């Protein structure tokens, strides 16, 4: 099981300030979500967008902010918005999933490791090793 990363700082979006800015520009959250999604090609539902505004997944933003703040630069100095080949990305994710999340593959690797360790145990301690695969 992975350990949870706990940072001494976090970054949050001030939803009240954002609302004030949107109101000043005559925008609702719905319209802002649509413009944001269209401008950047985000595959982000309105519900997902509002979830981001509740600061549930802020760690990547914290890293980006920490980098530019420490270097005293603008975010656009080192971060680029790039186009993504969606079909290629889907294929890459599927390949990764098949390679690393395929339980059969992990079971085979685990079983081979178990057999290897049992063989070492038998050679070193002259004891039998039960294969319960």
87-109 pLDDT tens trace: 888 898 888 888 777 655 555 56
Q: How far apart are CA 104 and CA 96, in angstroms?
A: 14
In-domain check, residue 2: no
This prediction has a pTM of 0.56
What's residue 23's pLDDT? 95
The confidence band for 42, taking pLDDT boundaries of 50, 70 and 90, is confident
What's residue 24's pLDDT? 95
**59-73: b or e for each residue (b if 16 or more CB lie within 10 Å)?**
eeeeeeeeebeeeee
Q: How far apart are CA 59 and CA 74, in angstroms?
A: 19
Percent of the chain with pLDDT over 70: 72
Q: Are residues 63 and 92 in the same domain?
A: no
Give the count of domains, the chain: 2
In-domain check, residue 3: no
Q: How far apart are CA 47 and CA 38, in angstroms?
A: 16
Handedness of CA 22, 27, 32, 38 (dihedral sign): negative
Q: Are residues 123 and 74 in the same domain?
A: no
Q: Are residues 48 and 74 in the same domain?
A: yes
């Amino acid at each position: 099981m992975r350990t949870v990363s706990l940072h001494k700082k976090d970054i949050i979006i001030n939803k009240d300030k954002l609302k004030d800015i949107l109101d000043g520009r005559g925008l609702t959250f719905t319209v802002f979500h649509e413009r944001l999604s269209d401008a950047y090609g985000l595959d982000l539902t309105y519900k997902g967008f509002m979830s981001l505004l509740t600061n549930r997944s802020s760690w990547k933003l914290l890293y980006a902010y920490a980098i530019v703040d420490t270097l005293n630069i603008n975010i656009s100095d080192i971060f680029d918005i790039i186009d993504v080949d969606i079909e290629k990305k889907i294929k890459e994710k599927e390949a990764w999933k098949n390679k690393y999340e395929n339980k059969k593959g992990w079971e085979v690797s685990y079983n081979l490791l178990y057999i290897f360790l049992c063989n070492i145990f038998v050679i070193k301690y002259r004891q039998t090793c039960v294969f319960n695969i």
